[in-house]
Amino acid sequence: MPLDSPATVEDLLNYRLARLLSSSGAMIIRLCEGKYGITRREWRLIAMLAACGPMSPSALADRAHIDRARASRNIAELVAKRLAVRAVSPGDKRRATIALTASGKALHDELFPVSANINGLVLSALKPAQLRAFDRALTLLTAKAEQIGRDTPPALKADRRHGGSRRQPVQPKPLPSLL
């Protein structure tokens, strides 16, 4: 089985998941950009806000699995498009809460069923028992990847403020043994 003994990049789990996301996500991206004028990341933030309610920009970035700088830019775009509003805390101007506007909620209410339908069409390739097994497998794989991420020290990052560069060789830290 290629997944447990990859011989090429096409056998790697992350490559295969990226390929699935690219294929199934392309339909959503075309819809988001073509009909609604939003990016896929903006859609992800809208969907998170619709599902979880107003939250801080940091919490939104974490929930959406987007780095904070990129989330900040996407939030600014959503505010500019009047799909979200940024409310600054009166007691501390550094703190804010992001919430959907009525237009943002309406966009979500229109786009989510279409997204769910595309999701269902892709998943229709699996029989119900396969779908349940796939769901359990995804849960286990995600938990394991998160554990490895927590247990592995982050690689050294370039300190560009002090003249550093990403091109400097970094001594990689060994990953935990998977055997």
Angle (deg, nearest 10), helices 40-52 and 68-80: 90
Lowest mean pLDDT: which of 17-21, 81-85, 94-98, 155-159? 155-159
Q: Which residues contact 27 (CB under 8 A, 6 or more apart)?
A: 118
Burial 142-159 (b: 16+ CB within 10 A, else e): eeeeeeeeeeeeeeeeee
Domain ranges in the chain are: 40-151
Note the pLDDT of residue 152.
79
Quick: pLDDT tens for 45-104.
999 999 999 999 999 999 999 999 999 999 999 999 999 999 998 888 788 999 999 999
| Whether residue 156 has pLDDT greater than 50 | no
Note the pLDDT of residue 162.
57
Note the pLDDT of residue 151.
85
Query: Would you place residue 111 in the very low, low, confident or very high pLDDT band (cuts 50, 70, 90)?
Result: very high
What CATH architecture does domain 40-151 belong to? Orthogonal Bundle (1.10)
Note the pLDDT of residue 164.
57
**End-to-end Cα distance, the chain:** 17
Q: Could you tell me the two tokens for 158? A: 């370039």
Q: Could you tell me the two tokens for 73? A: 């830019």
CB-CB contact of 55 with 84 (8 Å): no
